[in-house]
Structure 1
């Protein structure tokens, strides 16, 4: 039976995320010390949320990390595990909230350990661009996989059901499938935009326009062929389109909002709060794991 494999992309520098204080002083030190996807949101790191959803829907997961972070992750994990065997047990079980205190040195070590011990089947260093990182991840995908799903770790709210939806669309015969949301804001064209603003030259008709999210699913052969020659694009579906492939759109999720700035973090935390409570309730249920 053919399998499905996910590439969770966490290679971005997060330069627009910054270290500002506009979402509360308690976050400042933690943000400065870690890559964006290592920042906690609704009790778990963005990375943990994203890998968990991918693992629930796919047969395997490759985590694509910045090369520098990957070099630090393994020794940091070894240090953390040497300090606390319980930490390793909880990280492997995905129960990281109880061992990751806020704004401490141990939190940084523990979160780096989580990178290695997350529910990922492979960890690889990404490239200088998003497309290069996808190609690095493709090199880890086993031969018996026929559907590959690419997901940005900075969209921690994407559910396993959203993964299922794009996978099903590809299984139905499409070369690729992407989740989308309608564009509700009025769109203006400002060709000469500067930090101080710019002149509006037109109002764009938003009829038929949709904002694209991840996860995005692909026929493996189509994705590999689209990356031949090392092209660059803001998402992989654009490469499939350029190659003449069929890309289906499925309904997206508000929770799959991308964390680009610290303001986005506040939005996603609010969206994920209910899901985090449900997970915590399940983990603490006295009947969970019982014999019935």
Structure 2
């Protein structure tokens, strides 16, 4: 993957490469969270509403993928399509792809677990694909040492063996969403795959060029109730400034 400097675009600007659509994945059961976190409150809105809104400010259309039995629980904004997901993440991506119009040239894949990604980040990954990449993902440099921990069971019970080698910080990134792809590349790998893994890896394995842009420190991954509390603190920090949404989003990316 190439590491590049992000660029920004403007939603609705004329672009010969065609429309950009976003798929917001929110069909998970929230096992680690303890329930369907996509409807947890964040700043007076359901968690899923935040990426839907940010994607809508940067893309021409949005598809949100929800659990079949929860489709009626939240009414998406006008113009946003809601479709039922599947048992696995890849099934939900494919459900979203089926709802994205055939003329879309760029497809963004994101999730409810990254509610604080700003519209500027969505625009950046879309712009990178429009500039020629097959895919674009945001990532942060490693600031902590990452070690492999191997569980060991002995006579005295479980102990953990820490391997000596660490991941090199220079060549590894903590990858966030949203991800953007050339639509034909993403559709092709999902059509051919029998077992899907992470989308950017699939496109890269098929010969596509994936670029890594600068991520946003405040774009945290909400997996646990404690991380949701942190997201609430980050969001409150910018809301307390009393600024318009777009300015607040810019401040959030700098937190």
Q: Note whether the superposition's TM-score is higher than 0.5.
A: yes
Give the aligned partner of residue 76 of structure 1: none
CA deviation digits over 1:17-54, x for unaligned, max 9?
Answer: 12xxxxxxxxxxxxx5xx20110113322111111101
Does 2:122 correspond to 1:163? yes
Aligned counterparts, 1:35-184, within 5 A: 35-70=36-71, 73=72, 112=73, 115-184=74-143
User: Counterpart of 1:219?
Assistant: 182
CA distance in 2 between counterparts of 1:36 and 1:197 reads 33
The answer for the alignment partner of 1:273 in structure 2 is 236
In structure 2, the CA distance between the partners of 1:252 and 1:120, relative to structure 1 (3 Å rule), is farther
2:168 to 197, 206, 210: 206
Structure-2 change in CA distance of 1:68 and 1:230 (3 Å): farther
Residue of structure 1 in register with 2:26 after alignment:
10
- CA contact under 8 A between 2:149 and 2:161: conserved in structure 1? yes
Task: Answer 1 or 2: which has greater helix percent.
Answer: 1
The answer to whether 1:251 aligns with 2:214 is yes
Alpha-carbon distance between aligned partners in 2 of 1:46 and 1:173, rounded to the nearest angstrom: 32
Whether the 8 Å contact between 1:166 and 1:177 is mirrored in structure 2 is: yes
SS of 2:105 mapped into structure 1: strand
Q: CA deviation at 1:121?
A: 2.3
In the TM superposition, residue 274 of structure 1 has moved relative to its aligned partner by 3.0
Which stretch shifts more, 131-140 or 235-244? 235-244
Give 1:245 shift: 0.6
Q: Distance in 1 between matches of 2:50 and 2:67?
A: 18
C-alpha contact (below 8 Å) 1:63/1:124 kept by paired residues: yes
Deviation at 1:260, TM superposition (A): 0.4
Contact 2:61 2:80 in 1 (8 A): yes
- Cα deviation for residue 193 of structure 1 reads 7.2
Give ranges in structure 2 of 5+ residues lacking alignment.
Answer: 1-15, 246-255
User: 1:182, 1:211 within 8 Å by CA — same for their partners in 2?
Assistant: yes
SS of the residue corresponding to residue 75 of structure 2 reads helix
Q: Distance in 1 between matches of 2:184 and 2:231?
A: 34
SS in 1 for 2:160: coil
Q: Report which stretch shifted further, 218-227 or 197-206.
A: 197-206
Bigger fraction of residues in strand = 2
Deviations 1:122-168 (A, max 9, x none): 11111111111101100011122100000111111001000000001
Equivalent residues, number: 224
Matches within 5 A, 1:21-40: 35-40=36-41
- Stretches of structure 1 that go unaligned for 5 or more consecutive residues are 19-31, 74-111, 284-292
| Counterparts in 2 of 1:277 and 1:223: CA distance versus 1, 3 Å | same
Contact 2:147 2:167 in 1 (8 A): no
Q: Is the 8 A contact 2:76 2:82 kept in 1?
A: no
TM-score (norm 1): 0.72
